[in-house]
Amino acid sequence: MAAKPEYRDRPDVEVALLDALVDRGDEGMTVLELRAAVDADIDAVEEALAALKDDSLITVESGERVRVYAHDRVVPDPDEPAEAPPGGLVDTIRDRLGL
C-alpha cells in the first residue's frame, strides 16, 4: 500500500519512507529497518525522517527500541477507491516536466 496521493509530491526518499511505513501499519519500523527498505544512504534517510517529523507526517516512539510510524492522515482508507490522476496522460506528463 502506498501513502495518500497528496503526500507523493515530496522528495523520493521521503515518499519511499512513507510508503514503507504505511505498508507496516501498526507495527512501525526501526531506523535500521527503514534504511534497509529504502534505497538511500543513511544521511539521506535521516534528513528525510527529520523533514517528515517536522511536517508531522510520522510519529516516533521511544521505548525498548525507537520505532517510527506513519501518521494516520498519511495512510489511505482501504475502502476508498484509488484516485485517477486529473486530466489525462498528456496532462500528467506536462506536470512532471514542468510545462
pLDDT digits (tens, 9 = 90+) for 1-19: 688 888 888 899 999 999 9
pLDDT digits (tens, 9 = 90+) for 30-73: 999 999 999 889 999 999 999 999 999 999 998 888 899 999 88
Compute the mean pLDDT over every residue in the chain, rounded to the nearest whole number. 85
Task: Please name the residue that has the C-alpha cell 519512507.
Answer: 17
Rounded Cα gap, residues 75 and 64, in angstroms = 25
Beta strand residue intervals within the chain, DSSP E: 58-62, 66-70
Rounded Cα gap, residues 51 and 45, in angstroms = 10
> What does the pLDDT read at residue 87?
66
The model's confidence at residue 83, banded by pLDDT at 50, 70 and 90, is low
